[in-house]
Chain A
């Protein structure tokens, strides 16, 4: 594919992608005087800034060939709402999606790009991955048959897990489908969030989970990976069915069980700049080449 420009749009999982490209904060992000100690340095300002729908222009240096301009549209949590499309059930019972003003602006900007990379949402299931506030339970991993189910705890049917995850997946699917409908010639790629760490003590910060951990403890590693696997599988199946390419975390960032290696982590739930670089390398290899 001959690519002249790439767009990146997404929520907090954009940070590693931006950091993977270079210094994007200069003159754009106001770092508040008081540090938010729940988050690492990379996230300071992320939850309090508003870029007023402006894009950040960076460059992807490729393994071979010319660098590709990357237009980034980080959806700052401090900006005007994190939802991009508003669903409304019409009189004919059909669901109509309306873009928010922010998203409408992004769509205009996307027109010059050949590839649109999404890191939309991706942490909605995190409370299940991390906070151990529920009675003991287990479920069969979505990619396995029965093995590894803990004895004696309440088995939860996978249909119930699916029902929990489905609304989160729809949140990702709707804006991407909207882009597809408005800009059918664009190649859309969604990046799955990085997996959890095997040992959560390896996280430099616990983000918003600290007080919950103190109160409830942490979910065990096996269940953590099952939730992550279930979320990713459903996102992948749903988006692939709609013709949207889905990219998983680069293998070299993971340990043999599929957990994120600590050197690629930025806090508890995010990847760091090194992780971002690996993802860009994967995009370069699998999408842009």
Chain B
């Protein structure tokens, strides 16, 4: 007699994974909590992969709370940066970015103002360089928009039940003067790279853990009833600033993020992990969910992830019964075809590294 004799099937690779079709595997075997799509409001943030979650959630009739929707005065062409996530923060790739964003939103630190002007005189917020497609007309307008954005981030946590955060990267560019982390290296999407103040940093496990744990504490202090769901983006790095190369950096980065997520789930009752990373990258998938270049995720992978999410995380009877579009709060109505097509078209700052 030993403890393994009493373990359920899910605890054994041969029973949980081997010889099962991908859609038959119980990937998410021990969820801490489930969700009620009828009543619970979700907010999303993180890397590009988080955008898939928001879209599919809406498609299934879930409530994706958009705290900072595009104003009706804006034409479709002017709505860049809106509706991708719950607020107009753009991609929040790192736990450091999340912590700094929350600290500013909750008033723990002064808003970080780091704007750059392009040759046409337009202003860009380097902490979310792609939220305004054509830039702001003046420094004052960029400033007002940033302050309004931070106010909306704070409000967001008063209006949601679930916060889904997708960890994307450990590598970041840091402003030594302003002490802030960028989503992407200055000079790629906007601004100019200045080697005197823009420094590369690759976060260790303890640094990511510190930043994420601080972020979670901040959220739970301000919105104690929030359930937090962590995921790790399975999308590999576009480029690394480390010497070792993109493949090693990607795996190192994802491994750290996955380990930190695990650690935080142990430390916080209100925090759980959803294994989208494992579904896509695990050996059982045999790489079938990756695009030909092995970096990005195919729509089939997204569908498998979200199918698993709805099977294991949506409580019985909690599936939304009304039409999906009636549940949307800001995302536009899409057909299933559109959603699948658009699954490829997530707005990802990091891809700009390829162009630089």
Given the complex, which residues of A lie within 8 Å of B141, measured CB to CB? Answer: 140, 155, 157-158
Asked whether A145 lies within 8 Å of B138 as measured between CB atoms, the reply is yes
- Looking at A146-154, A205-213, A229-237, the stretch in contact with chain B turns out to be A146-154
Asked whether A135 lies within 8 Å of B71 as measured between CB atoms, the reply is yes
Asked whether A140 lies within 8 Å of B151 as measured between CB atoms, the reply is no
Q: Is B12 an interface residue (CB 8 A)?
A: no
Q: How far is the CB of A156 from chain B (nearest CB, A)?
A: 6
Taken residue by residue from 121 to 145, chain B's Cβ proximity to chain A (1 for < 8 Å, 0 otherwise) reads as 0000000000010101110110011
Asked whether A164 lies within 8 Å of B144 as measured between CB atoms, the reply is no
How far is B270's CA from A160's CA once the two chains are assembled, in angstroms? 41
Q: How far is the CB of B111 from chain A (nearest CB, A)?
A: 14
Taken residue by residue from 177 to 218, chain A's Cβ proximity to chain B (1 for < 8 Å, 0 otherwise) reads as 000000000000000000000000000000000000000000
Taken residue by residue from 66 to 99, chain A's Cβ proximity to chain B (1 for < 8 Å, 0 otherwise) reads as 0000000000000000000000000000000000
Taken residue by residue from 132 to 176, chain A's Cβ proximity to chain B (1 for < 8 Å, 0 otherwise) reads as 001101001000011001001111111111011000000000000
Q: Which residue of B lies closest to A161 (CB)?
A: B73
Q: Which residue of A lies closest to B134 (CB)?
A: A159
Q: How far is the CB of B66 from chain A (nearest CB, A)?
A: 12
Asked whether B144 lies within 8 Å of A163 as measured between CB atoms, the reply is no
How far is B288's CA from A42's CA once the two chains are assembled, in angstroms? 75
Q: Is B108 an interface residue (CB 8 A)?
A: no
Q: How far is the CB of B226 from chain A (nearest CB, A)?
A: 23
| B interface residues, how many (CB within 8 angstroms) | 17
Asked whether A156 lies within 8 Å of B140 as measured between CB atoms, the reply is no
Asked whether B136 lies within 8 Å of A157 as measured between CB atoms, the reply is yes
How far is B144's CA from A158's CA once the two chains are assembled, in angstroms? 12
Q: Is B75 an interface residue (CB 8 A)?
A: yes
Given the complex, which residues of A lie within 8 Å of B138, measured CB to CB? Answer: 140, 145-146, 158
Q: Looking at the complex, which one of B74, B78, B144 makes contact with A149 (CB distance below 8 Å)?
A: B144
Asked whether B137 lies within 8 Å of A157 as measured between CB atoms, the reply is yes
Asked whether B73 lies within 8 Å of A137 as measured between CB atoms, the reply is yes
Asked whether A134 lies within 8 Å of B72 as measured between CB atoms, the reply is yes
Q: How far is the CB of A162 from chain B (nearest CB, A)?
A: 8
Given the complex, which residues of B lie within 8 Å of A135, measured CB to CB? Answer: 71-72
Asked whether A156 lies within 8 Å of B137 as measured between CB atoms, the reply is no
Q: Looking at the complex, which one of B134, B137, B148 makes contact with A154 (CB distance below 8 Å)?
A: B148
Asked whether A157 lies within 8 Å of B140 as measured between CB atoms, the reply is no
With contact pairs A154-B148, A155-B148 given, residues A137 and B71 touching in the complex (Cβ less than 8 Å): yes
Binding site for B on A (CB under 8 A): 134-135, 137, 140, 145-146, 149, 152-161, 163-164
A-B pairs with lowest CB-CB distance, top 6 = A146-B140, A155-B144, A158-B137, A159-B137, A157-B141, A154-B71
Binding site for A on B (CB under 8 A): 71-75, 78, 132, 134, 136-138, 140-141, 144-145, 148, 151
Q: List 20 A-B contacts (CB under 8 A).
A: A134-B71, A134-B72, A140-B144, A145-B138, A145-B140, A146-B144, A149-B144, A154-B71, A154-B148, A155-B141, A156-B73, A157-B132, A157-B145, A158-B138, A159-B134, A159-B137, A160-B74, A160-B75, A160-B78, A163-B75
